Amino acid sequence: MGFRVGLTYNVKSEYVLKPGDPPDLIAEFDHEETVAHIEKALKEAGHEVVRLGNARQLLERRGKLDVDIVFNIAEGYEGRNRESHVPILLEMLRVPFVGADGLTLGLALDKVLTKKVLIAEGIPTPRYAEVADPDKLWQVDLSFPLIVKLRCEGSSKGLSDKSLVNSPQELRRQAHWLLDTYKGSSVFVEEFIEGQEFTVALIGTDVPEVYPVCQIALDGVTDLGRKFFTFAYLRAGSDYLCPAPIPDALARQMQELALRTYRAVDCRDFGRVDFRVDRKGKPYVLEINPLPSLSTEDVFSSIAKTRGLTHYRIIQHILEMALVRTGLLGLNGASSLSTTTRSH
pLDDT tens, residue by residue, 272-320: 999 999 999 999 999 999 999 999 888 898 888 888 899 999 999 999 9
Dist CA 221 CA 225 (whole Å)? 10
Whether this model's pTM surpasses 0.85: yes
User: What integer is the mean pLDDT of 185-196?
Assistant: 94
> Class assignment of domain 127-191?
alpha beta
Enumerate the CATH 3.30.470.20 domain ranges in the chain, comma separated. Answer: 196-290
Q: What is the pLDDT of residue 245?
A: 96
Enumerate the CATH 3.40.50.20 domain ranges in the chain, comma separated. Answer: 4-99+324-339
* pLDDT tens-digit readout, 44-75: 999 999 999 999 999 999 888 999 999 999 99
Q: What is the DSSP string of 250-285?
A: HHHHHHHHHHHHHHHTT--EEEEEEEEE-TTS-EEE
Q: What is the pLDDT of residue 221?
A: 79
> Class assignment of domain 196-290?
alpha beta
Q: What is the pLDDT of residue 24?
A: 79
Enumerate the CATH 3.30.1490 domain ranges in the chain, comma separated. Answer: 127-191
- The DSSP bridge partners found for residue 241 are 215
Question: Any idea which of 43-52, 117-126, 324-333 has the lowest mean pLDDT?
Answer: 324-333
Dist CA 282 CA 278 (whole Å)? 5
Architecture of the domain spanning 4-99+324-339: 3-Layer(aba) Sandwich (3.40)
